[in-house]
């Protein structure tokens, strides 16, 4: 009667109120404009005053400059996501956990890369983002293993992700992690889509949103590969199945096209076309990718306003938080490497 089906329904009101309060503390366009005028130490101090103070203080003894800023922002994001995960219950918890699974994949990639470059355990640990479902202890266990095969096998046991034999044998043949990483990127979305049970309305909304994200990701991949002059089967290898509007037929069509101009009639029907129209016409890949990111954020915002008591506002917040961390890093890195303010500003997604 009260919608408590076996106690599995999530605590939407509580969690959504919390993330909305957190979202109000995110940085605004004005904050980014201020940071664009600053040097790296000034940016560090500025973000210390806007929610990252604890992490900045914790890490200040070991790190400094750009390293401190990057690690503190990632650590803060991991903590925030962890607190959302621990405060949600029922199906909401399951959906948030499935979405955060991408950070487990990210961490596995960091560990594999670290190991292949001979980094020590401490060095690898510093680059991890423990925002996924794997605890710090599980990640430590993975780091302590010697060979990449062991790491992959143990990760498979912890998260039930098994690497395809094709990717594994390609890695064994030439020691290149590329195939494994590409496989992990694909599997992360496919698993997420499979793990959502579309029987209830909130989970159907979540599924729609994730599928939309797959569409954007695929289109971005196609644009990037087209810019490199790659098409046909080579492109298909990198695409993720299960998109919302771009189905297999369209994917094949886009992948086989010589250039994006030749399939403009198909592309112009996509919802995100308006956002990237100018960039496509002027052949500006950077602006097109930024446009897609902007569209993704707007879409999440729209979904979250339409269905306030669902998982979407929570995902919307997580996307915004990730975007904030990325923006801070772009500004800091850009400033450090002497990029012009206008160039950095164009790279930001606000």
Partner 1 sequence: MAIEGDVGSGLIAIGAGLAVGLTGLGAGMAEKDVGAAAVGAITEDPSIFGKAMIFMVLPETIVIFGLVIAIMGIFVM
Residues of this chain that bind partner 1 (CB under 8 A) = 2, 11-18, 20-22, 87, 309
Q: Are 244 and 211 in contact (CB under 8 A)?
A: yes
**Which residue do the tokens 């607190």 mark?**
83
Phi/psi-derived region of residue 9, left when phi > 0, alpha when psi is between -120 and 50, beta in every other case: beta
Cβ 80 to partner 1 shortest distance, Å: 11
Q: Are 256 and 230 in contact (CB under 8 A)?
A: no
109-124 as b/e: b if 16+ CB within 10 A = ebbbebbeeebeeeeb
Cβ 30 to partner 1 shortest distance, Å: 21
Cβ 20 to partner 1 shortest distance, Å: 8
**Cβ closest to partner 1, residue 2 vs residue 117:** 2
**Cβ closest to partner 1, residue 4 vs residue 157:** 4
**Cβ closest to partner 1, residue 89 vs residue 159:** 89
**Cβ closest to partner 1, residue 12 vs residue 209:** 12
Cβ 22 to partner 1 shortest distance, Å: 6
Helix (H) or strand (E) holding 170: helix 165-174
| CB-count burial class (<10 Å; 0-12, 13-18, 19+) for 201 | exposed
Q: CA 17 → CA 77, 93, 300, 305, distances in Å?
A: 18, 15, 17, 13
Q: Are 180 and 213 in contact (CB under 8 A)?
A: no
The set of long-range contacts for 244-252, using a CB threshold of 8 Å and a minimum separation of 24, is: 244/208, 244/211, 244/212, 244/214, 244/215, 245/212, 245/215, 245/270, 245/271, 246/215, 246/218, 246/219, 246/270, 251/218
**Cβ closest to partner 1, residue 16 vs residue 331:** 16
Cβ 7 to partner 1 shortest distance, Å: 14
Cβ 132 to partner 1 shortest distance, Å: 23
**Cβ closest to partner 1, residue 114 vs residue 313:** 313
DSSP class of residue 239 equals: P
**Cβ closest to partner 1, residue 96 vs residue 344:** 96
Cβ 17 to partner 1 shortest distance, Å: 3
**Cβ closest to partner 1, residue 280 vs residue 314:** 314
Cβ 325 to partner 1 shortest distance, Å: 19
d(CA 146, CA 160): 21
Q: Are 100 and 129 in contact (CB under 8 A)?
A: no
100, 44, 329, 36: CA torsion to nearest 10: 130
**Which residue do the tokens 């990198």 mark?**
238
Cβ 250 to partner 1 shortest distance, Å: 41
**Cβ closest to partner 1, residue 15 vs residue 73:** 15
Q: Tokens representing 296?
A: 């993704």
């Amino acid at each position: 009667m009260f919608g408590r089906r076996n106690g599995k329904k999530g605590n939407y009101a509580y969690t959504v109120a919390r993330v909305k309060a957190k979202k109000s503390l995110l940085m605004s366009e004005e904050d980014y404009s201020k940071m664009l005028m600053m040097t790296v130490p000034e940016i560090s101090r500025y973000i210390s005053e806007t929610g990252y103070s604890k992490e900045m203080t914790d890490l200040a003894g070991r790190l400094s400059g750009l390293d401190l800023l990057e690690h503190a922002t990632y650590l803060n994001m991991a903590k925030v996501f962890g607190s959302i995960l621990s405060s949600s219950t029922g199906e909401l918890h399951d959906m948030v956990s499935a979405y955060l699974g991408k950070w487990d994949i990210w961490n596995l990639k960091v560990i594999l890369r670290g190991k292949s470059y001979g980094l020590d355990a401490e060095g690898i640990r510093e680059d991890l983002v423990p925002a996924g479902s794997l605890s710090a202890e599980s990640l430590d266990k993975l780091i302590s293993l010697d060979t990449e095969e062991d790491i992959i096998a143990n990760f498979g046991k912890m998260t039930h992700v098994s690497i395809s034999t094709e990717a594994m044998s390609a890695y064994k043949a030439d020691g290149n992690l590329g195939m494994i990483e590409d496989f992990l990127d694909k599997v992360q979305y496919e698993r997420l889509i499979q793990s959502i049970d579309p029987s209830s309305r909130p989970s159907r909304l979540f599924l729609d949103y994730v599928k939309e994200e797959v569409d954007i990701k695929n289109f971005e991949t196609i644009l990037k590969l087209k810019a490199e002059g790659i098409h046909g089967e080579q492109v298909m290898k990198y695409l993720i199945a299960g998109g919302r509007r771009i189905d297999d037929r369209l994917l094949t069509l886009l992948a086989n096209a010589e250039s994006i101009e030749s399939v403009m009639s198909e592309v112009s029907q996509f919802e995100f076309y308006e956002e990237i129209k100018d960039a496509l016409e002027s052949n500006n890949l950077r602006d097109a990718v930024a446009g897609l990111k902007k569209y993704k954020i707007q879409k999440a915002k729209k979904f979250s306003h339409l269905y306030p008591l669902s998982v979407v506002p929570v995902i919307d917040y997580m996307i915004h938080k990730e975007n904030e961390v990325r923006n801070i890093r772009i500004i800091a890195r850009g400033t450090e490497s002497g990029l012009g303010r206008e160039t950095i500003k164009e790279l930001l997604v606000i």
